[in-house]
């Protein structure tokens, strides 16, 4: 027999979630090797997004089967009130599986998704939402301009030619272009040719400027728009995420970016914050010691990476 009344019956109202949910996906299986600085990168990402987003938001974190130390950190952040919604998955569901839960469960009318290695600059969220709310039929807005595959934003160009001011040119400064590509492990030399041979598309609509293109690693979108593309069926943990880019373009939705860099890829190290990104590129080959040169030999590299991959699969597959 029940004793007394449930106190919740006397609560007249409950707090409403913020209009915007920032949804971060994290995966750090261990704190060594490739992931040695992973927890530091995650902390830097969370600190930067909260610093001056320009708009209020609730934070949702989906942890995709990380190690104990990372889970404990996230629980502490949740208990301190710095994470509003925390999902701890027992195993890695892949990005598609995580997206299915995050993009369905986020309570906000607007969802701003991010990988866990993104460093944000002030007003990154307000600038993204400005574009989202000004342009019609927007699929996604990324908080950094960079050169994305043209086949994924053809619908954006088709719309802009008839409805906005559209210009083609070198609108992304060389330094901004190079900064991002160096974070992907590319070299300055190989990017000079790419920069010279490619262009940007700048769109002005109702006084707001955006660049054509967007990307799955960070984007802001209406939740109702994202529902059109769920569920995602991805049978690998990585490598298939461009499904969203392609499907949005095929649906005729606009894929846009802010006109100046308000988000940066840190990858798996804090080198960008230490000012190490791109330093010594021109002289790196001369400075390699004997051991490093041996490791770069094709068949040696192939064998060692195969062994690393096998060990990784034994532990984490």
Which positions of the chain have pLDDT values less than 70? 6, 8-12, 14, 234-240, 278-296, 305, 308-309, 312-313, 315-317
Q: What is the pLDDT of residue 258?
A: 98
Q: What is the pLDDT of residue 237?
A: 52
Q: What is the pLDDT of residue 292?
A: 59
Q: What is the pLDDT of residue 10?
A: 60
| SS3 per residue for the chain | CCCCCCHHHHCCCCCCCCCEEEEEEECCCCCCHHHCCHHHHHHHHHHHHHHCCCCCCEEEEEECCCCHHHHHHHHHHHHCCCCCEEEECCCCCHHHHHHHHHHHHCCCCEEEEEECCEEECCCHHHHHHHHHHHCCCEEEEECCCCCCCHHHCHHHHHHHHHHCEEEEECCCCHHHHHHHHHCCCCCHHHHHHHHHHCCEEEEEECCEEEEECCECCEEEEEHHHHHHHCCCCCCCCCCCCHHHHHHHHHCCCEEEECCCCCEEECCCCCCCCCCCCCCCCCCHHHHCCHHHHHHCCHHHHHHHHHHHHHHHHHHHC
Q: What is the pLDDT of residue 129?
A: 98
Q: What is the pLDDT of residue 287?
A: 45
Q: What is the pLDDT of residue 186?
A: 86
Q: What is the pLDDT of residue 317?
A: 58
Q: What is the pLDDT of residue 264?
A: 96
Counting Cβ atoms within 10 Å, is residue 303 exposed (0-12), middle (13-18) or buried (19+)? exposed
Q: What is the pLDDT of residue 234?
A: 67
Q: What is the pLDDT of residue 208?
A: 98
Predicted confidence (pLDDT) per residue in 200-240, tens digit:
999 999 999 999 999 999 999 999 999 999 888 766 655 56
């Amino acid at each position: 027999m029940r004793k007394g009344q449930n106190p919740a019956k006397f609560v007249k109202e409950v707090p409403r979630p913020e209009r915007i949910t920032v949804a971060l996906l994290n995966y750090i299986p261990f704190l060594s090797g490739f992931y040695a600085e992973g927890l530091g990168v995650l902390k830097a990402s969370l600190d930067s997004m909260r610093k001056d987003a320009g708009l209020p938001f609730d934070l949702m974190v989906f942890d995709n089967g990380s190690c104990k130390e990372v889970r404990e950190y996230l629980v502490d952040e949740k208990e301190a009130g710095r994470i509003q919604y925390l999902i701890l998955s027992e195993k890695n569901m892949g990005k598609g599986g995580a997206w299915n839960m995050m993009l369905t469960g986020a309570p906000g009318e607007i969802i701003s998704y991010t990988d866990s290695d993104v460093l944000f600059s002030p007003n990154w969220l307000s600038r993204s939402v400005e574009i989202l709310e000004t342009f019609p039929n927007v699929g996604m807005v990324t908080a950094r301009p960079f050169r994305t595959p043209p086949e994924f934003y053809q619908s954006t160009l088709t719309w802009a030619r008839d409805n906005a001011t559209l210009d083609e040119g070198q609108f992304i400064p060389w330094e901004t272009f190079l900064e991002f590509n160096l974070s992907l492990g590319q070299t300055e030399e190989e990017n000079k040719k790419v920069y010279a041979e490619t262009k940007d598309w700048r769109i002005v609509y109702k006084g707001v400027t955006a660049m054509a293109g967007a990307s799955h690693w960070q984007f802001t979108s209406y939740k109702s728009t994202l529902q059109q593309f769920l569920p995602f069926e991805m049978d690998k943990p990585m490598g298939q995420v461009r499904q969203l880019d392609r499907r949005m373009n095929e649906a005729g939705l606009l894929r846009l970016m802010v006109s100046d860099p308000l988000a940066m890829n840190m990858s798996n190290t804090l080198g960008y914050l230490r000012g190490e990104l791109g330093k010594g590129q021109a002289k790196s080959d001369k400075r390699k010691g004997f051991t490093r040169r041996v490791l770069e030999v094709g068949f040696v590299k192939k064998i060692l990476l195969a062994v690393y991959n096998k060990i990784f699969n034994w532990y984490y597959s």
